[in-house]
């Protein structure tokens, strides 16, 4: 696979990712759910050097959601597109629905599943990781702004 392109709802913010991606996970943390107004958010992780905005793309607006993390969205239509954090240096996380068509991997897991919306139970067989899982330990540094 040579790469894939994505965009916001209105097409103002357009980007490309060159595989390999880092992961494809469904996040159930309260912050992602609140930021997206959804039961969970599906993220594709990309190394920053494998991510680029396409020619003519608008630049996203960034909201500092914690001292460590920020979330990017389209300044025109408001589509929530990106997550970046100092706890994941060198990475940009892209909302999977912004990428039409296939990518280089299938969903791998559910993260922060202990925070999932009680009204949205998942029936797939993907692994489920809780907040205290060692693989998620770096995210404990993320705190809400006061």
pLDDT at residue 1 greater than cutoff 80: no
The pLDDT score that the predictor gives to residue 64 is 95
As given in the structure block, the two tokens for residue 103 are 């990518």
CATH of domain 4-140: 2.170.150.70
Mean pLDDT of the region 112-118? 95
Going by the DSSP 8-state scheme, the letter that residue 134 receives in this structure is G
Residue partners of 82: CB distance under 8 A and separation at least 6? 60, 71, 72, 73, 92, 93, 94, 95
Confidence band for 146, pLDDT divided at 50, 70 and 90 = low
Going from N- to C-terminal start, the domains of the chain cover: 4-140
pLDDT digits (tens, 9 = 90+) for 12-67: 999 999 999 999 999 999 999 999 999 999 999 999 999 999 999 999 999 999 99
Q: Is the dihedral of CA 129, 130, 133, 136 positive or negative?
A: positive
């Amino acid at each position: 696979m040579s790469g894939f392109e994505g965009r916001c709802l209105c097409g103002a913010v357009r980007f490309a990712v060159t595989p390999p991606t880092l992961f494809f996970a469904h996040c159930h943390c309260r912050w992602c759910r609140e930021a997206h107004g959804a039961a969970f958010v599906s993220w594709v992780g990309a190394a920053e050097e494998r991510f680029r905005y396409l020619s003519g793309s608008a630049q996203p607006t960034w909201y500092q959601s914690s001292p460590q993390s920020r979330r990017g969205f389209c300044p025109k239509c408001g589509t929530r597109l990106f997550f970046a954090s100092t706890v994941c240096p060198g990475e940009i996380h892209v909302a999977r629905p912004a990428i039409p068509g296939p990518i280089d991997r299938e969903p791998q897991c559910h993260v922060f599943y202990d925070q999932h919306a009680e009204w949205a139970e998942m029936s797939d067989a993907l692994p489920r990781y809780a907040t205290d899982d060692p693989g998620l330990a770096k995210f404990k540094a993320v705190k809400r702004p006061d």
